[in-house]
Structure 1
Amino acid sequence: MTLSTRPPAVRTSLPARMAGRLTRLTWIDLVVAAAVLVVLYVILRVGAGTAVSFNPARVTRVSTDPADLPYYAARSLLRMFAALALSVAFTLVYAYAAARSRRLERVLIPALDILQSVPVLGFLSVAVTGFIALFPGSSLGPECASVFAIFTSQAWNMTFGFYHSLVTLPRELDELSRSFGFTRWMRFWKVELPSGAIGLVWNGMMSFGGGWFFLVASEAISVSGHRYALPGIGSYAGTAIAEGDLGGVGWAVLTMAVMVVGVNFVFWRPLTAWVEKFKNEQSEATDVQRSLVLDFLRRSHWPHALGRLARPAAEVLGRAARILGTDDRPLSVDPVRRRGGDAVFALVAGGLIGWGLLDLLGYLRDRTGLGVFAEPLLLGLATLARVVVVVAVATAVWVPVGVRIGFSPRLARIAQPLVQVLAGFPANFLFPLATWFFLRTGLSINVGGMMLMALGAQWYILFNTIAGAMAVPADLREAMDDLGVTGRLRWKRLILPGIFPAYVTGGITASGGAWNASIVSEIVTFGGTTLTATGLGAYVAHATERGDYPHLIAGVAVMSLYVVGLNRLLWRPLYRLAETRYAL
């Protein structure tokens, strides 16, 4: 037996350990801590204005003084990030439920088609009244309604993208997680969420841009003849546009550009660089995205400390999942039991939906008669033609551009801020220029409105194409280079199959986004001049402004019918093709 020469362990006291950690703090840690404190302080100061008293009968006027723009920009950013947090939570829960339950999928995915087809103004007309009643006498009512409206412009695209990543999970990852006996929580946290991380981040970035697009509508709300204006960059621009103040519009455009570039640099660029680690490839890429902010944070001790703090929370969630029994459900169910359960589920769901439709038809019959659907059905054909043209042109233009950006991290570093500015730029800010251009050239709003509609729809295709191209493993591209495969054959064998699932997600959300964008692109107003196109979007906007609920319900129902029909006839078959043939 040999004696150990190792000195006895000395237990260090807690104050000594804390002192040792403090001595390891660098100036980078101090800068990060100061930045976090400043952000929290700004949130507290800006958030204090969301709970002031509010009188719905009194019209709130938004100042167009440029000195108020920093405060307005902070209020708008707070709403945008609050809506983004809600959208991420909704996406993770809704998409997972739809992807992992056949019964829920039959209800949730068609419901998602309908939800993305309902215009933002359709949600606002209900949300404003409900939230004001929920928070009487407080500005929290319209604030919650505004956040909810931004949420409805963000959530659907993210949910579609994450759902598709779940149903197209690489087979080897699924089999590996099952062979290791992963619980459902472990599979989600270790396999499914990382597999869809790239698409989730890029779809989140696109959805954030969609929120900017509807910022004016969500902050300067006109419902049933009442106008609710909240302090924000969107309401500032809306007021300047209504007053014909070109100087105010210019200040709003400049502030919006600074906000979009700043958010991209501080938030989205680090995220897109960080999720590169989740790319499914067998060899490390030679050229990867970089972010100054991410590199700065990696040199700090705070991310590691926060990661250690988060581990107990993850363990608690895992234990809760096991307690609730979600980890012990069988992966396969007896076919007889499944068919019986499906029949009962379909009967109950169909009965509830049928009862609701009968009650709605009775309401419309008593108020206006069922002939109220005739006009929006005809107007919907005009808007449908615009949507088809916008999606087709956007596909031809932006798919090659997206592939080029996604395959080149160096180009992505240059193009990402520019794309973010273009995608996040609200079309409403261009109404003065659009009005002048249409009047000067004699171009009909029926044709010119498609250009404004494209500003709110084409970026879904570009962003999803970029995400799909970035997710293509670098080793596959290198193999194609070694084999000398270029040109049309490279597109046929690698690029199109690689980006096809992401493009389908972009196409379905671009189609829904184009229908939603028709609300603001078929009516162009500046000062005392208003140009109105023939279409369903203008019909819904007029009904919302008048508070004409029967016509609003008819317009929203017809728009939902067109969107769901287009999805079922075109996009759903492409979804199935992507799942069965083009999954990685």
Structure 2
Amino acid sequence: MKVRYTLSRSLVVERSWPFFLDLTVAFGLLAGFYAVLQIAHYWMSGAVPEVQISQSPRMLPLYAFYSVVRIGVAYLLSLLFAVVYGYIAAYHRRLEALMIATLDILQSIPVLSFLPGVMLAMMSLVPSRQLGIEFGAILLIFTGQVWNMAFSFYSSLKSIPRELHEACTINRFSRWQRLWQLELPYAAIGLVWNSMVSVAGGWFFLMVCEMFPVGDRQFRLPGLGSYLQTAASTGNSLAMTYGLLTMVAIIVLTDQLVWRPVIDWSDKFKFENVEAADRVKSPVLAALRHSNMLAAIQRHTLVPLSESIYRSLARRNAKRLASSEQKPRSRVAAFLSWLLLIVVLGVVCFAAFKAILLLKQVPRSEVGTILLGAVATFFRVNISLLLAAAWTIPVGVAIGFNPRLARIAQPLAQIAASFPATALFPVILIGLMKLGAGLSIGSVALMMLGTQWYILFNVIAGAMAIPSEMREVATLFRFPNWQRWTTVILPGIFPYLITGLVTASGGAWNASIIAEYFHLKDQTLRTTGLGAQISAASDAGNFPVLLLATIIMALMVVTINRLVWRPLYHLAETKYRLD
């Protein structure tokens, strides 16, 4: 009787488990639909640029919801931009150098340099709705998330093994098939880990993007970032604690419900011939795979749709290959291309002329101060990069090689990377001042807090992408540690490491606007630096100085990238690739 009772109970659990999964999925879909309705209602309401931020813990769920939506929408835009931009830059050699240089410039321009133009433009586009202000904040968060993802996808495309490209050519894959069946899967691991650090970067700049001054106006949006900044400025430590605990809870839930399943799913795209014995596993993904509702949706909608798309693409590609005639380029198309080029050049020349007129208003004494600040910020950025690389490379390799350690360290790294360093910085700064140090040293610490995660997450992705058979060969031949590092680990992670260093360098320049100019209660602390110049000019609405400082920062970053990072990228593409 006991055996029969045990068998019947296990049978009931086995039959009821898919029902509970389907019920959970249904509730999740309904909750998502309700959230879309609520956010649409709020965005289409009247514009309120300056919202009173309540420090009551009861408002935290609503503020957290608004912030999560902003970061989520900014991330989706970043992912779309990264794939499109990286694809064009990787496969169009005439545009590649220009597009990568443009990417270097854009990632080096601080968020505060975007603030006035973006917010005023969005408010003028949608003047009577909250949508304009919200979309302005989303675009600002987008500027802190997108660049490392674009660099990651671009470098992954450039390092795809030649035999995989040849296999696609032999099987006559269309560009769409090549993208979905080769390029996106090959770049999946790098994109996943750079997505995590991008979202962490969104949390880092949330306090800046939800509450900031532009000249005489003060923009303040309801959200977790503005809640934390209001609590920090008023010295309300209890509200700060509640806000930080809420942020940590969101990060942990995001890790368990989103990132851990995505990492488990992306492991199947690892380029290897032997499956790894130990890998990151997600109970959430395993449960979703047993959902009857999701299986039905995939079977009746996604699979037939993808098959019909691939069939139509195959027929179109076959017709194109069967036709031996090369159609001459249409004169109308050529005329429109030249017309578009002339219009773009005209707009660029007009903008450059306006910029020159604006730069003439900068006093000569201010130019010398800006150049001196640029030199100071240059040394701080490079010191922070060296200190960050010294610990992130060995730790990242250890996490990437050990899935058990990754299960513990990954959520901790996510929390640490997403933790707003601007909230922790007052404590660090007060401690350094008691030791006799000032903002010059404290700014290096803040730069590290904001940019070291770019290196760490890219090194983890590179270590996870190393084929298992290469590590097994090193173990079989009993390589000593130094030989394992020089022949397996460093060559394997090299493309990812360069991506991490490039984005960390741009992030350090970007973080200088907060690190060198800091509001602490009723006083403003600043040190000599280009970031301090940009922050002070933004607060005062001094647009000529803001423009000049931004141009100098962009020129310095582009020069470093062309002289240092670009040759290392070429080395990663030619020597350290899996062929």
TM-score, normalised relative to structure 1: 0.89
Q: Is the 8 A contact 1:185 1:327 kept in 2?
A: no
Q: Give the corresponding residue for 1:281.
A: 272
- Alignment of structure 1 residues 23-34 onto 2, 5 Å: 26-34=19-27
1:91 to 76, 82, 88: 82
Equivalent residue of 2:144, what SS? helix
Structure 1 residues 137, 531: closer, same or farther in 2, change over 3 A? same
Q: Give the corresponding residue for 2:28.
A: 35
1:561 to 538, 555, 562: 555
1:248 to 239, 242, 257: 239
- Give the AA of the match of 1:310: L
Q: Is the 8 A contact 2:443 2:516 kept in 1?
A: yes
1:539 to 533, 539, 550: 533
- Give the AA of the match of 1:566: I
State the 1:486 CA deviation.
2.6
Structure 1: runs of 5 or more not aligned: 1-21
Q: Give the corresponding residue for 1:291.
A: 282
The whole-number CA distance in structure 1 between the counterparts of 2:89 and 2:226 is 37
State the 1:318 CA deviation.
5.5
2:483 to 468, 489, 500: 489
Q: Is the 8 A contact 1:431 1:526 kept in 2?
A: no
Q: Give the corresponding residue for 2:378.
A: 384
Q: Give the corresponding residue for 2:409.
A: 415
State the 1:327 CA deviation.
10
Q: Give the corresponding residue for 1:12.
A: none
Pairing 1:113–2:104 present: yes
After superposition, the C-alpha distances for 1:360-383 in whole angstroms (9 at most, x for unaligned) are 453135433677544322211111
1:455 to 436, 445, 449: 449
- Give the AA of the match of 2:174: T
Pairing 1:182–2:135 present: no
Structure 1 residues 46, 363: closer, same or farther in 2, change over 3 A? same
After superposition, the C-alpha distances for 1:504-551 in whole angstroms (9 at most, x for unaligned) are 000000000001111111122221132212111111111111111111
Q: Give the corresponding residue for 1:18.
A: none
The whole-number CA distance in structure 1 between the counterparts of 2:370 and 2:319 is 48
Equivalent residue of 1:531, what SS? strand
Q: Is the 8 A contact 2:279 2:403 kept in 1?
A: yes
Q: Give the corresponding residue for 1:310.
A: 302
Equivalent residue of 2:279, what SS? coil
After superposition, the C-alpha distances for 1:153-207 in whole angstroms (9 at most, x for unaligned) are 1111100000000011111111111111111111111011100000011111111
Pairing 1:499–2:490 present: no
- Alignment of structure 1 residues 322-361 onto 2, 5 Å: 355-356=349-350, 358-361=352-355
Structure 1 residues 522, 286: closer, same or farther in 2, change over 3 A? same
The whole-number CA distance in structure 2 between the counterparts of 1:390 and 1:324 is 53
After superposition, the C-alpha distances for 1:9-64 in whole angstroms (9 at most, x for unaligned) are xxxxxxxxxxxxx99963222222222222332343344323321245xx422111
- Alignment of structure 1 residues 39-50 onto 2, 5 Å: 39-50=32-43
The whole-number CA distance in structure 2 between the counterparts of 1:267 and 1:327 is 42
2:143 to 139, 145, 152: 152
- Give the AA of the match of 1:208: V
Q: Is the 8 A contact 1:125 1:223 kept in 2?
A: yes
1:575 to 530, 552, 569: 569
Q: Is the 8 A contact 2:374 2:553 kept in 1?
A: yes
Equivalent pairs counted in the alignment come to 551
Pairing 1:434–2:425 present: no
Q: Give the corresponding residue for 2:12.
A: none
Pairing 1:198–2:199 present: no
- Give the AA of the match of 1:544: S
Structure 1 residues 24, 206: closer, same or farther in 2, change over 3 A? closer
Equivalent residue of 1:221, what SS? strand
Q: Is the 8 A contact 1:432 1:525 kept in 2?
A: no
Equivalent residue of 2:518, what SS? strand
Pairing 1:403–2:393 present: no
The whole-number CA distance in structure 2 between the counterparts of 1:322 and 1:113 is 37
The whole-number CA distance in structure 1 between the counterparts of 2:117 and 2:562 is 27
State the 1:355 CA deviation.
2.5
Q: Is the 8 A contact 1:213 1:425 kept in 2?
A: yes
Pairing 1:234–2:228 present: no
Q: Is the 8 A contact 2:104 2:561 kept in 1?
A: yes
- Give the AA of the match of 1:553: L
Structure 1 residues 536, 324: closer, same or farther in 2, change over 3 A? farther
- Give the AA of the match of 2:22: D
Equivalent residue of 1:288, what SS? coil
- Give the AA of the match of 2:38: R
Identity fraction in percent: 42
The whole-number CA distance in structure 2 between the counterparts of 1:43 and 1:365 is 44
Q: Give the corresponding residue for 2:253.
A: 262
After superposition, the C-alpha distances for 1:126-178 in whole angstroms (9 at most, x for unaligned) are 11001111111221111001110111111111000000000111111111111
State the 1:312 CA deviation.
4.8
Cα RMSD of the aligned pairs, angstroms, is 2.8
Structure 1 residues 412, 46: closer, same or farther in 2, change over 3 A? same
Q: Give the corresponding residue for 2:201.
A: 210
Q: Give the corresponding residue for 2:164.
A: 173
Q: Is the 8 A contact 2:384 2:448 kept in 1?
A: yes
Pairing 1:137–2:131 present: no
2:215 to 208, 211, 224: 224
1:368 to 362, 380, 390: 362
Q: Is the 8 A contact 1:244 1:526 kept in 2?
A: no
- Give the AA of the match of 1:388: N
The whole-number CA distance in structure 1 between the counterparts of 2:239 and 2:189 is 38
The whole-number CA distance in structure 2 between the counterparts of 1:317 and 1:175 is 23
Relative to structure 2, which stretch is displaced further, 372-381 or 424-433?
372-381
State the 1:300 CA deviation.
1.1
The whole-number CA distance in structure 1 between the counterparts of 2:551 and 2:317 is 39
- Give the AA of the match of 1:49: Y
Q: Is the 8 A contact 2:359 2:548 kept in 1?
A: no
The whole-number CA distance in structure 2 between the counterparts of 1:214 and 1:236 is 13
Q: Give the corresponding residue for 1:101.
A: 92
Q: Give the corresponding residue for 2:518.
A: 524
After superposition, the C-alpha distances for 1:65-97 in whole angstroms (9 at most, x for unaligned) are 111011111110011110111111111111111
Structure 1 residues 318, 95: closer, same or farther in 2, change over 3 A? farther
Q: Give the corresponding residue for 2:3.
A: none
